[in-house]
Amino acid sequence: MSLLRHVRRCNDYRPERFLPLFLGGARIGLVRRDHAEALRRFPQVFAVADDAVRLMKIGDFAALSAAVDRVVEQLVADGLVPKWRNEFFAVSTRWGAAPLFKLDRGAIAFFGVRAYGVHLNGYVRDRSGLRLWIGRRAPDKKVAPDRLDNLVAGGIGYGHSLFETLAKEAREEADMPADLIVRAVPVGAVSYRMETREGARDDVLFVYDIEVPSDFVPRNTDGEIAAFHLMAAGDVIDRVRASEDIKFNVNLVLIDFALRHGLVTPDEPDYLDLIAGLHRPLD
Amino acid sequence: MSLLRHVRRCNDYRPERFLPLFLGGARIGLVRRDHAEALRRFPQVFAVADDAVRLMKIGDFAALSAAVDRVVEQLVADGLVPKWRNEFFAVSTRWGAAPLFKLDRGAIAFFGVRAYGVHLNGYVRDRSGLRLWIGRRAPDKKVAPDRLDNLVAGGIGYGHSLFETLAKEAREEADMPADLIVRAVPVGAVSYRMETREGARDDVLFVYDIEVPSDFVPRNTDGEIAAFHLMAAGDVIDRVRASEDIKFNVNLVLIDFALRHGLVTPDEPDYLDLIAGLHRPLD
Nearest to A216 by CA among A198, A228, A202: A228
Residue of A206, A211, A272, A283 to mutate, interface with B, max B Cβ within 10 Å: A272
Of B162, B187, B282, the CB nearest to A260: B187
Q: Under a CB-based contact definition with an 8 Å cutoff, are residues B193 and B113 in contact?
A: no
pTM, 2 dp: 0.96
Tell me the residues of chain B between 86 and 105 that have a Cβ less than 8 Å away from chain A: 94-96
In chain A, which residue ranges form alpha helices assigned H by DSSP? Answer: 4-10, 33-39, 61-77, 108-111, 162-174, 178-181, 233-242, 248-260, 271-277
Measured between CA atoms, how close is B45 to chain A, in angstroms? 31
Of A260, A269, A281, the CB nearest to B188: A260
At A173-230, the pLDDT tens digits run: 999 999 999 999 999 999 999 999 999 999 999 999 999 999 999 999 999 899 999 9
At A264-282, the pLDDT tens digits run: 999 999 999 999 999 999 9
Of B185, B259, B273, the CB nearest to A262: B185
**Chains A, B: CB pairs < 8 Å:** 75
Q: Three-class SS of residue B237?
A: helix
Of B189, B266, B280, the CB nearest to A206: B266
How crowded is residue B269: how many other Cβ atoms within 10 Å of its Cβ?
15
Chain A residue closest in CA terms to B256: A188
Residue B252: HSE in the Cβ half-sphere, 13 Å Cα cutoff: 28
Question: Residue B83: what pLDDT?
Answer: 77
Q: Three-class SS of residue A102?
A: strand
Question: Residue A27: what pLDDT?
Answer: 97
pLDDT band at A72 (very low <50, low <70, confident <90, very high): very high
Query: Is B272 within 8 Å of A186 when comparing Cβ atoms?
Result: no
Chain B residue closest in CA terms to A260: B187
Q: d(Cα A78, Cα A38) in Å, to the nearest integer? A: 10
Regions of chain B where pLDDT drops below 50 = none
Q: d(Cα A253, Cα A207) in Å, to the nearest integer? A: 7
pLDDT over threshold 80, residue A83: no
Q: Under a CB-based contact definition with an 8 Å cutoff, are residues B58 and B67 in contact?
A: yes
Q: Under a CB-based contact definition with an 8 Å cutoff, are residues B101 and B61 in contact?
A: yes
At A198-207, the pLDDT tens digits run: 999 999 999 9
Please report residues of A whose CB lies closer than 8 A to that of B115. none
Please report residues of B whose CB lies closer than 8 A to that of A279. 275-276, 278-279
Q: Does B188 touch chain A (CB under 8 A)?
A: yes
- The type of residue at B214 is S
The vertex-A82 CA angle with A76 and A88, nearest 5°, equals: 80
Q: Does A161 touch chain B (CB under 8 A)?
A: no
What would the DSSP string read from start to end of B123-168?
EEEETTEEEEEEEEE-TT-SSSTT-EE-SEEEE--TT--HHHHHHH
Measured between CA atoms, how close is A233 to chain B, in angstroms? 15
pLDDT over threshold 90, residue A6: yes
Question: Residue A84: what pLDDT?
Answer: 76
| β-strand partners of B203 | B115, B192
Residue of A181, A202, A279, A283 to mutate, interface with B, max B Cβ within 10 Å: A279
Q: Does A162 touch chain B (CB under 8 A)?
A: yes
The distance of Cα A182 from the centroid of its chain, to the nearest Å, equals 22
pLDDT band at A139 (very low <50, low <70, confident <90, very high): very high
Q: Does A259 touch chain B (CB under 8 A)?
A: yes
Question: Residue A1: what pLDDT?
Answer: 79
Query: Is B187 within 8 Å of A262 when comparing Cβ atoms?
Result: yes
Q: Under a CB-based contact definition with an 8 Å cutoff, are residues B48 and B36 in contact?
A: yes
Measured between CA atoms, how close is A139 to chain B, in angstroms? 33
Question: Residue B121: what pLDDT?
Answer: 98
Query: Is B206 within 8 Å of A162 when comparing Cβ atoms?
Result: no
Q: What letter does residue B106 receive in the DSSP assignment?
A: G
Please report residues of A whose CB lies closer than 8 A to that of B95. 266, 271-272
Q: Does A206 touch chain B (CB under 8 A)?
A: yes
Q: Does A167 touch chain B (CB under 8 A)?
A: no
At A40-70, the pLDDT tens digits run: 999 999 999 999 999 999 999 999 999 999 9
* Element housing B63 (H / E): helix B61-77
Q: Does A160 touch chain B (CB under 8 A)?
A: no
